[in-house]
Amino acid sequence: MRQIFTLFLVCFVFAAPSSAQRRVLRSAEAHIANERYVEALNTLQPLLEADETPAEAHLFAGIAHLNRPGGVVEAEKYLDLAVAGLPLGEKPSRRALEAQYYKAQVLHLTHRFEEALSLHQNLLEILPASSRDLRGAIEREIGYAQNAIEMVAHPVPYEIQNLGAAFNTTYDEHSPIVALDESTLYFTSNRPADIEGRMEGHSFEDIYVSHWREGAWTKAQLVNLPGNYYANRATVALSADGNTLVFYQNDATVGNLYYTRLRFGQWTEPQPFPAPINTSANETHASFSPDGDRIYFTSDRAGGYGGRDIYVSHLLPDGNWGEPVNLGPNINTPLDEHSPYLHPDGQTLYFSSEGHHSMGGLDVFFSVQDEEGNWGEPVNMGYPVNSPDDDVFFMPTPDGNRVYYASRQTDGFGGVDLYLMTFPSDDDRGLAVTAGFVFDQEKKVQGSAIIRIYDEETDLLQGVYRPNTLSGKFVAVLPAGQNYRLEVEAEGFETHRENFRVEVRDVFSTRGRAHFLESIFLQPLAEEDIKEELELE
């Protein structure tokens, strides 16, 4: 995020504009302070088209473009004009310093890190002692530039592919969330959506879904959730069984987290998370633990370390969420943290942060929790996973070798597109997704069944799972290269037991990219067994 310094500083003009121009500048400045960058540009347009444009108008236009997606080229054009119109001189004005500061940010965003570093260092030498806020921002930008130079010199090897026309359009697609077995992908797009009751001409973000079928992704379809048609909704998280979808919704001036459950092929009426998850502050991103007993989320509520922090809440025995606990200074900083994602291993947290060892804006980090519950030092995912701009919403697969993410790149369809990043792996022993189906002898789904999986060698319980009530499918994430025992119990049926092995690197298949077990068909209990059970009760 670009830090804004322009609020209520119009009086420090270099060449005093007329009263009418001052009103326009104040209005544009107020829009920028409230992150309404398009409105700021529209307000400034008469001044930008005038024969004599105040230098402050060029500065404000540059700042607005700098914070607009894809606006860095236009930002540089206006900031160059601002730098020329606001020379530093012997006693540089605040506006002249700001023009240089934002110009350095353009250099950083366009990978001219050495030039950005040099400009920031020069600014630091001439900065008045009274400009403490600007000094702090410049010192942080110097750190960003130094980090970027180091990371670009040691890039992380990867392969990247655009997910194609099944997902991407000329509009923005972002925030992909993927089922553990990669059979279903939900994402957010601001493409026009034909929703009954919604007025034409209004642009909203909506949720879409695509399924992996016969080796390819299906054309994405709108997830037409019941309820509010006049709010932006964005994908946030998916439960391990794929039956609970969490999304963000803007409610007037506050953002809240909502959830909806899949019941017999239909999503239920969305419900906001109750207090203490949602508050009068903004709650924006969330992630469930694999067992569903914890939720990690971001909030800018009072009492944090600054900006947005990451919290965790535990599910209580009565079904309510417990009081959230801040993850502490190893994770949270005085700047913003975003988009926590707890890996299926239950101990690796991926998140985005402006602090720690960032190369600019929000970078993606990971931290590992030890046996005592302490979070380790965050590790930057490196370049080019991270860029000089904001990098948010990083969702790796259970084996850690692939990542679904969104990015604005020159080879895209236009706007922000969805991509798949693949990393080479020198570790063949990772987590693998195992899936299966549970039916009765008449091939009817047995959604009430309980599946338990044990490590065959240690006899330790690996997890308890329930099948999808519509499809009968269950999904488990298990360490590869080991033997397991599976037990399935359902009322009125014999307990089903079988042994299986998850081979090393056994992650992909033509069906949903998982290790699939043979479908389980439960045998009904014999009459004498039913009588015996009734007697025991």
Q: How far apart are CA 261 and CA 17, in angstroms?
A: 57
User: pLDDT of 160-200, one tens digit each?
Assistant: 889 999 999 988 899 999 988 888 999 999 898 866 655 55
Tokens standing for 535? 């007697």
**Residue 251 CB contacts under 8 Å (≥ 6 apart), including other chains:** 231, 272
Residues forming a β-bridge with 232: none
Q: Which amino acid is at 457?
A: E
| Residue 299, SS3 per DSSP | strand
Q: What is the mean pLDDT of residues 199-228?
A: 84
User: pLDDT of 382-415, one tens digit each?
Assistant: 888 888 878 887 888 877 778 898 877 767 887 7
Domain 19-153 class in CATH:
mainly alpha
Q: Residue 10: which pLDDT band, with cuts at 50, 70 and 90?
A: very low
Tokens standing for 301? 């509520």
CATH homologous superfamily of 234-422: TolB, C-terminal domain (2.120.10.30)
The predicted model scores a pTM of: 0.78
Q: Per mean pLDDT, which range of 100-109, 237-246, 350-359, 384-393 is the poorest? A: 384-393
Question: Does the pLDDT of residue 497 top 50, yes or no?
Answer: yes
**Domains 19-153 and 431-529 belong to one CATH topology:** no
The topology under which CATH files domain 431-529 is Immunoglobulin-like (2.60.40)
Asked whether 257 and 270 are in contact (CB, 8 A), the reply is: no
CB neighbour class for 76 (10 Å; exposed up to 12, middle 13-18, buried from 19): buried
pLDDT at 27: 93
Domain positions in the chain are 19-153, 234-422, 431-529
pLDDT at 447: 81
**Beta strand 216-217 pairing with 184-189:** unpaired
Evaluate the CA torsion angle 493, 495, 499, 500 in order and state its sign.
positive
- Percent of the chain surpassing pLDDT 90: 44
Name the average pLDDT for the chain: 85
> What radius of gyration do the chain's Cα atoms show?
27
Q: Which residue has the tokens 């964005």?
A: 234
Residue 24: CB atoms within 10 Å = 20
Does the bond joining 467 to the residue before it have cis omega, within 30 degrees of 0? Answer: no
| pLDDT greater at residue 423 or residue 142 | 142
Q: What is the mean pLDDT of residues 365-378?
A: 90
Q: How far apart are CA 390 and CA 1, in angstroms?
A: 7
Q: Which residue has the tokens 């994908």?
A: 235
Tell me the CA distances in angstroms from 264 to 91, 179, 185, 438, 469, one per residue in order: 71, 18, 19, 16, 7
pLDDT at 300: 94
Q: How far apart are CA 526 and CA 532, in angstroms?
A: 10
